[in-house]
A and B are shown apart, each in its own frame.
Chain A
Amino acid sequence: MNRVNDFAFKIGTVNGTGSASANGLLMRSIFRMGIPVTGKNIFPSNIQGLPTWYEIRVSKDGYAARPSDIDLVVAMNPATYAEDVATVRAGGYLLYDSSWPMPKELLREGITILGIPFGRMCVESFEGDRERTLLRNIAYAGALTALLGIDMAVVETLLEETYGKKPKLLAANHTAIRLGHDYAREHLPCPLPFHLEPMNATSDSILMDGNTACALGAIYAGATVGAWYPITPATSLMEAFGAFCEKYRVDKETGERRFAILQAEDELAAAGIVIGAGWAGARAFTNTSGPGISLMQEFIGLAYYTDIPAVFFDIQRCGPATGMPTRTQQADILSLAYASHGDTKHPILFPANPGEAFELAVAAFDLADRLQTPIFVATDLDIGMNDWMVKRLSWNDAYRPDRGKVLDADALDRIKKFSRYDDVDGDGIAARTLPGVGGKGAYFVRGSGHDKHAGYTENSAAYKEVVDRLLRKFAHAATIVPKPVFTLQDDAEIGLITIGGCDAAVREAADRLRKHDLAVDVMRIRAFPFGEEVREFIESHERVFVIEQNRDGQLRSLLAIELGVPRDEMIPILDYGGMPLTAKVVVDAVSSHLAGVPA
């Protein structure tokens, strides 16, 4: 009956009331108890006053996907009572603020309603509206320590770490934690049938969001120019980059800053700045989301056609148009793959979580320099803004940036003639020079038709020679971008193909299916263009499901277009309502398909 370290709870509050610190405190306390935990922040595109939720999943097995069931809802926002009470699984619990009489909306058969007068207790214990509102959140955190068995010593330590330098605030937080805790202990059945017990499964892990990880990747790869235009959910990436630059890139003696962050007038300019900086020899990047990618199209084509390195982080959100800016999706796959007019194709990297986002961010800068082309790192709101439990990031000091083929003055002296787009090595990549090098290195970048010497042309053969070389370069890219991650079983006839942040849910779903004696293989694609191994996986499975978070099955289409595999033979599992994927969606879709029921 008792479930230990395997449950989920959800807290409904009003945004702008300071619940984030209480939710963060809960997450980190559980993590510090050595128990694997993930949090999903489901927030509105608004600053103050609208409903917001935070889901915390505890999983002794380390499953990081959004929970399929919610065991307990903490309903602190009367505006969402009806919705919140419906969220609780049968037999679950709902905790509400009983300062006021219980409203009718909360009545539901088959769940247990718990009440704690958080509001009243905070009014009695604290002065001022702001303080009372803020500490009401800490009070529900206190109640959860009792109800779920969170180690109070850990909570106290975290409060000390956070507010140690502000004694008044620290004391108030202590009081609030105690209020909730003691009331629950006295009046409610503590702990609940699902609760926590200390483990030792997080000592080599951290809690980090993907935007922070990408920013660290940019720092470690040696990026010096960051240009951007603020947009949810990408903003915090450049803010993190700025904060790390302040920490690591400011000369202590001279105050000199070894970076340039430029907040552009729009995404077009951000792309232009990155391309200008890349042409001049810097490692440069921008962070944006779907609407920004739409605006950057023309520049992306320019960089593609003129062989200029650039890194674009696309933190995908729900489109089209403004869409739902604070909801997640993977719906930019096709628009990234073929961004801009004319024949264009671009490498894309798809990290599955913040840990991999760090690795692939670094790889993106190497690939951009090596391939002299725009590289996209496509994450999404879920990876970018939510805290995930991942292994501690580590670094190998032997790493040196791969700057690709760049001819310096000495190298230029050794050659007879420099032709910017001459494919000497046959891999589609021609050596470049950086402005300022002198000698015979000067050339003219033009977005208009050019021949292999970078000269203007309207000649069919000379034009085709250049665009055909770009195609060779793309084929070469397929051999050097990160390979998929395979989880294989013997003789599995079913193959699950997925991408990016779906990974956690798909792996969990695969485990559940295997428990039901269904052999499944999983291939998580990590990059475009696809290598031959991707085709082999598709062709070697009887049934292939493609699981992704968009309406139109964009990954499936891209596989069909690029590999020539029949599109209709791949079964789509599409989840595009804006929430992170759950294992249940995948299990249900696969099961109903196999049972002959249309998914």
Chain B
Amino acid sequence: MTSIAKPPVRHPSLRTNALGLTIRDYEGGMSTLCAGCGHDSVTAALVQAAWELALPPHRAAKMSGIGCSSKTTAYFMKQSHGFNSVHGRMPSVTTGAAAANRELTYIGISGDGDSLSIGLGQMAHAIRRNVNMLYVIDNNGVYGLTKGQFSASADIGSKSKRGEPNEQPPIDPVLMALAIGATFVARSFSGDKKQLVPILKAGLSHHGLALIDVISPCVTFNDHDGSTKSYRYTREHDLEVVQADYVPIVAEITLPDSESEVRTVQMHDGSAIRLRTTAPDYDPTDRASAVAHIRACQVRGEIATGLLFVDGESHDMHDRLKTPESALVDLPFSQLCPGAKALDSLMNRYR
């Protein structure tokens, strides 16, 4: 994973966030991905989202597996610890880190190869555990680093660069996540920063695993005619069915009565998201409704995007483990070791 340091030049007029940091403070090394890669736009949106949220960079941890997508954790938030682990196993490493230190913000970046083939099981079980993390899938339908094999998200009939059609049905991470109890499920497009940034902000504020499937075209191996993951195809078939506004904690949440189709979901940290759907019968806080609507869009050949489902009552892994509010790593040894007297008295049980 190559990365090149960026020159530390800063324009004096750059705006600062609540921590006094400019957007440059949220950047990382120079990307070495192909020019025009969708993943770089996702990185830019993440930088924007983290800066707008005034996330302290050193309190975040960037987690990834292997693949083009996983390389991008080196391209943002250089002041955060990062962990580029093994292929398809980012979810388990993040689960362990989150178990040990729940106080950090975990940003997991994965891809369709990393999450839907080799790591499908790990992704599913991180969702089931509801690990408190952002889980971004940079989804381009191909294996880029190994030069263009189909991934498990490739649609039936989608053509490879050499013109061969894919014949196996795709795994849709959004529908799968909804089926196994995900508490925050979104789909977006790397070419739509306006939509993506508020979704990322909402995902970072979510108490539990926030899964965001981002269609992120591969300009080198999957951006041709006949591909269903190209820029052109995605633009033509993208249908934003839920528009999400992220409302930070400080802002007063007011809802005009007239906007009856707007739903406000209160987040665990005090912020809120306002969801505006295009279809009157679609309730993005209702799992069955979300699944039905996404399926209906698929039948029509539309890619439903937006914050498709959110559960405001989400209980994360730590809620279920009943661990202390503070991190396990910060517990003093005296609270962990029962001591000599306890051991001596325990020994009587083994006689």
Contact = CB atoms under 8 A, between A and B. Distances in A.
Chain B binds chain A? yes
Interface of A: 28, 31-32, 205-208, 212, 216, 219-225, 227, 248-249, 251, 254-262, 264-266, 268-282, 284, 298-299, 302, 392-397, 399-401, 433-439, 441-448, 455-456
A513 to B, nearest CB: 33
A212 B343 CA distance: 13
Interface of B: 1-3, 56-59, 61, 73-74, 78-86, 89, 91-101, 103-104, 121-122, 124-125, 129, 321-324, 328-329, 331, 333, 335-340, 342-344, 346-347, 350-351
A302 to B, nearest CB: 5
B318 to A, nearest CB: 8
Contacts of B340: 394-397
Given A268-B92, A275-B93, A442-B81, A219 B337 contact: yes
B350 A207 contact: yes
A447 B63 CA distance: 12
Given A206-B351, A282-B329, A272 B93 contact: yes
A275 B84 CA distance: 12
Nearest to B63: A276
Given A269-B121, A299-B89, A399-B337, 8 more contacts: A254-B324, A257-B321, A258-B328, A266-B121, A277-B97, A282-B100, A282-B328, A444-B83
A448 B84 contact: yes
B96 A445 contact: no
Contacts of A258: 323-324, 328, 331, 335-336
30 contacts: A206-B347, A216-B343, A219-B337, A220-B337, A223-B336, A225-B100, A258-B335, A262-B95, A262-B99, A264-B92, A265-B121, A266-B121, A268-B89, A268-B92, A270-B92, A273-B95, A273-B99, A279-B97, A280-B61, A280-B97, A280-B329, A395-B344, A435-B101, A435-B104, A436-B61, A442-B80, A444-B73, A444-B74, A444-B82, A445-B83
Contacts of A269: 89, 91-92, 95, 121-122, 125
A271 B93 CA distance: 8
B82 A272 contact: no
B66 to A, nearest CB: 8
Most chain A CB neighbours (cut-off 10 Å) among B2, B79, B338: B338
Nearest to A458: B2
A223 B336 CA distance: 8
A455 B121 CA distance: 30
Contacts of A455: 3
A447 B86 contact: yes
Given A435-B104, A436-B81, A224 B329 contact: yes
A299 B96 contact: no
B96 A225 contact: yes
A49 B91 CA distance: 41
Given A260-B321, A396-B340, A444-B82, A222 B333 contact: yes
A447 B89 CA distance: 12
A436 B93 contact: no
A571 to B, nearest CB: 39
Given A282-B100, A448-B84, A436 B338 contact: no
Contacts of A275: 85, 93, 96
B84 to A, nearest CB: 4
Contacts of B1: 446, 448, 456
A436 B162 CA distance: 46
A224 to B, nearest CB: 4
Given A248-B338, A444-B74, A456-B1, A256 B92 contact: no
Contacts of A206: 347, 350-351
B344 A256 contact: no
Nearest to B325: A256
B324 A256 contact: yes
A261 B320 CA distance: 11
B38 to A, nearest CB: 22
Contact of B96 (A207, A216, A219, A274): A274
B84 A276 contact: no
Given A269-B92, A279-B93, A280-B329, A439 B58 contact: yes
Interface core residue of A249, A260, A268 (most chain B CB under 10 Å): A260
Contacts of B93: 272-273, 275-276, 279
Contacts of B56: 438
Closest 6 A-B residue pairs measured CB to CB? A276-B96, A272-B92, A438-B58, A282-B100, A435-B81, A273-B96
Contact of B78 (A257, A433, A442): A442
Contacts of B58: 436-439, 441-442
Nearest to A434: B329
B302 to A, nearest CB: 33
Contacts of A208: 350
Given A225-B99, A284-B100, A265 B337 contact: no
B342 A248 contact: yes
Contact of A445 (B82, B322, B346): B82
Contacts of A438: 56, 58-59, 79
B338 A224 contact: no
A272 B322 contact: no
